Amino acid sequence: MSERAQFTTRMGAIAATVGSAVGLGNIWRFPYEAGQNGGGAFLLIYLLCVVVMGIPVMVAEFVIGRSTHRNVCGALRQLSPHSKARWFGYVGITASLMILSFYSVVCGWIVEYLVLAVSGRLTGLEPNGYATMFTSFASHPWRPVLWTALFLLLNHLVLRRGLKRGIERASNVMMPLLFVILVIFAIHSLLLPGAERAVNFLMAPRLEDVTPDVALKAMGQAFFSLSLGLSCLLTYASYFKNSDSLTRNATVIALLDTLVAVMAGLMIFPAVFSYGMEPQAGPKLIFEVLPIIFNQMHMGIVWAVLLFMLLFLASITSSISMSEISIAFLTEEHNISREAATTVNTGIAVVFGSLCALSFGPLSGFTICGKTLFDLFDFVSSNVLLPLGGIFFSLFVGWHLDRRMVNAQLSHGPFVAIVIFCMRYVAPVAIASVFIYGLL
Ligand code: TRP
C-alpha cells in the first residue's frame, strides 16, 4: 500500500473535495428547490441540516477513508472483517453509477447550451421560444445522447491522468476560476433593480413556509450537495494525508459549499425578479427562464457564456468524484489498471446515461413505478440511498468502530465533541425521521 497516491497539498485536497461538493446541486438544484419551497424557510432548514447531519456524516466518511487509505469495500472490510458492512460498499458503488448516469445528462444539456451561447444562437428568440427550444432539444432522438457521451469523454480524460495530474490539478485550476466567475456574476446581479426583493426572498424566512415537506427537501438537498452517503467523500479522504485535521476540513468544505449555493441564489434570483419572472420554474429554470433574461440584458450573451461555463466547471469536478468511487474499487480490489478501470466506469455511464437522456424523448413512455429511468435513478439514489448511507456511516463510525481509533483520527481539530455527539445521536435519528416521513 505504500505507493498509494495521496493529494499533494492540503489546498489540493480541499480543492478536490470542494470540487466534488460544489456542482449542479448548488448552482442548478439549490436555486430551483429554494424557489419552489419558500426561499428563506428552505435556506434556514438547509443550514440546520448541514450542521447537525451534514458535517457529522462527512466526518464519519472521512474517518473510514483516511484511517484505512483504501477504496470503500476494502476500507469496510479492513475495519470490520467479520461483519457484512462491506456489502454496503457495493450499494455505494451502484448508487454512484446511477447518480453519474443521470447527472451527466444534465451536464450534456449544459455543454449544448454553452455551445449555443458561444455561437450566438442563444439570443434573439421570442420569449416563449425558449421553452420550445429546450423541449425540442431534450426530446431529440440523439442530440442529448451525443452531448452526454461527449461530457463523459471529457470526464474520462481527466480521470485517466490519475489522482495528482488529473483530479488534483483540474480542481486546483477550475475551483478558483469558478469562484471568480461566481463573485462577478453575483455582484452584477445584486446591482440590478430587483435585487432587494430577491435578497428578501432568500434571506427572510416566513415561518408559515416551514413544513415537514420542506424539511424533507432541504435534507435531501443537503446530502446531495455535500456529496454524502455514497462513499464519494470516503474515497477522497482515503487520499488525505494523516496530518490533515478531519473536522477542520469538513467545516471548511461545508462552509464553502453552502457559500456557493447562497451565492448562486443571489446570482439567479435578482435577475429573475428584476425581469418580472417568477422563481418557481423548477429544473427548467436555467434552461428556459434565464435565457429569456439574458436576451434582454445588456451584454446578455457574455453573461450566458459565463453562466454555462460556471455550470460546466462545477459539474465536471463533481462527476470525476462520483467516478473515482468505482475506479478506486476496481483498481484495488480487482487489480486492474487505472486506464481499464476508467474505461469500465465510462462505458457503464455512457450506456445508462444514454438511456436516461432518452427518457425525455423516445423512451419517455418507458416507466417503472410511474417514473422514467431518469426520474427513477434520481429518486432511488437521492431520496433513498443517500439517507440510508448517511444513517449507516454515522452509526458505523459512531457506535461500531473502536472509540480510541476514532478519537485518534479526530485528535487535532475543532468541534470534535459536538461532531461525535451529533454523529451518534442527532444525525441518525434526524435522518431516519425525515426519511420515514418522506416514505409515508
Ligand atoms: N455534490 C454534487 C453536487 O452538488 C454532486 C455529487 C458528487 C454527489 N458526488 C456525489 C451527490 C455523491 C451525491 C453523492 O452537484
Binding site membership of 224 for ligand 1 (Cβ less than 6 Å): yes
Phi and psi dihedrals of 119, rounded to 5? -85, 10
Residue 439 pLDDT > 80, yes or no? no
Binding site membership of 25 for ligand 1 (Cβ less than 6 Å): yes
The band of 2, judged by pLDDT with boundaries at 50, 70 and 90, is very low
Q: Which of 175, 322, 386 to mutate to test the pocket of ligand 1 (most atoms within 8 A of CB)?
A: 322
Q: Which residues, 6+ apart, have CB-to-CB distance to 223 below 8 Å?
A: 53, 54, 57, 229, 382, 386, 387, 390
Please identify, by atom number, the ligand 1 atom nearest to the C-alpha of residue 24.
15
pLDDT in tens, 245-290: 999 999 999 999 999 999 999 999 999 998 888 888 888 889 999 9
pLDDT in tens, 374-387: 999 998 998 889 99
Binding site membership of 67 for ligand 1 (Cβ less than 6 Å): no
pLDDT in tens, 358-369: 999 999 999 999
Nearest to 226 by CA among 12, 20, 432: 20
We find that the CATH architecture of domain 10-439 is: Orthogonal Bundle (1.10)
Mean pLDDT within 404-429: 94
Nearest to 352 by CA among 101, 95, 92: 101
Alpha carbons 250 and 234: distance in angstroms, whole number: 12
Q: How is residue 342 written as a grid cell?
A: 476508467
